[in-house]
Structure 1
Amino acid sequence: MLDDRDRKILDALQRDSSVPLADLAELVSLSASACSRRIQRLEDAGYIQKRIAILDREKIGVPTTVFALVKTAHHSDDWIETFRGSIADIAEIVEAHRLTGSYDYLLKIVLPQVEHYDLVYRRLVKRIELFDVSAFISMETLKSGQAVPVSYAV
């Protein structure tokens, strides 16, 4: 069971995992060693899956975002696994979601420029049969981030 200190630790770490332990401990009114033990407990319990660095997409050279909505005529477990494998090593596809409604999947694709989308599209359709793919170019990111609300954690 998590308490408010655990939630504060989780919230602070997901916003910046490089925060010095002493600063984090002060934020939650604990000693550094007690805070460190809590972080280890949260990792062991699976609340913290991994610590990563979020890169500046402009500096890395992939400032363009395209969302592709995918329809398929196939819905078997084997086809889904083939699809999963087909997108796994296409680095430009950074997120993939299975959906309800008119489309089956949503892909978030990051690119150096919009013209590069055709190369990603061709790589994908060589690997797996798709019924329809509709692409949408993101004009502006209004909100972005990996942080999730911690108030629901138990």
Structure 2
Amino acid sequence: MSLDETDRRILSVLQKQGRISNADLSERVNLSASACHRRVQRLEADGYIRDYVALLDARKLNVPTTVFVEITLQAQADEVLDAFEKAVSRIPDVLECHLMAGTADYILKVVAENTEDFARIHRQHLARLPGVAQMQSSFALRTVFKTTALPV
């Protein structure tokens, strides 16, 4: 299925306002409520809309510190990569893990209360990850821009 301009408008609105009512959405994208509802259902069924979530405030949840951790593994064998990925996916403080091309094998996005909490996460979890040869952590001083909305 290819997306037309109306589908793109629907996706754009839903990315920013996931709880918008179908009536309000249909008005925003200039469709009847029933046509809008059918399109949203099709976008969900076809996998364009993967899920609906609540975006939480890290400060209010007392995890305002973001740390980016670059990890280099000892080897690139499939079993080493698989073991690392399985282990890192179980660490609740790790929000993202990306396999990289470049100087590091992986980049992790980790949240913590502060530097002491990150030291705990490092000791209890990161330092125990299998196959790690080198790790470098960079603390974000301030988030300048952040979005979850993909360009449609």
Whether these two folds match at TM > 0.5 is yes
**Between Structure 1 and Structure 2, how many residues are aligned?**
150
CA distance in 2, matches of 1:57, 1:124: 21
**Distance apart, 1:20 and its partner CA:** 1.5
* Secondary structure at 1:136 match in 2: strand
Q: Which runs of 5+ in 1 are unaligned?
A: none
- What is the percent sequence identity of the aligned residues? 37
1:73-152 matched pairs, under 5 angstroms: 73-122=74-123, 123-150=125-152
C-alpha RMSD of the superposition: 1.0
CA distance in 1, matches of 2:75, 2:119: 23
**Distance apart, 1:120 and its partner CA:** 1.5
**Distance apart, 1:60 and its partner CA:** 1.0
* Secondary structure at 2:63 match in 1: coil
1:18-97 matched pairs, under 5 angstroms: 18-97=19-98
The equivalent of 2:11 in structure 1 is 10
* Secondary structure at 1:57 match in 2: coil
TM, length-normalised to structure 2: 0.95
After superposing on structure 2, the runs of 4+ consecutive aligned residues of structure 1 that deviate more than 3 Å are none
CA distance in 1, matches of 2:38, 2:140: 42
CA distance in 2, matches of 1:134, 1:126: 15
CA distance in 1, matches of 2:73, 2:128: 15
**Distance apart, 1:88 and its partner CA:** 1.1
Question: 2:42 is matched by which residue type in structure 1?
Answer: R
> Which whole-Å deviations, capped at 9, do the CAs of 1:44-76 have from their partners, x for residues lacking one?
111001111000111111110000011112111
Question: 1:124 is matched by which residue type in structure 2?
Answer: L
Q: Which runs of 5+ in 2 are unaligned?
A: none
Question: 2:109 is matched by which residue type in structure 1?
Answer: K
1:69–1:105: 8 Å Cα contact kept in structure 2? Answer: yes
Question: 2:31 is matched by which residue type in structure 1?
Answer: L
**Distance apart, 1:124 and its partner CA:** 2.4
**Distance apart, 1:117 and its partner CA:** 1.3
Question: 1:6 is matched by which residue type in structure 2?
Answer: D
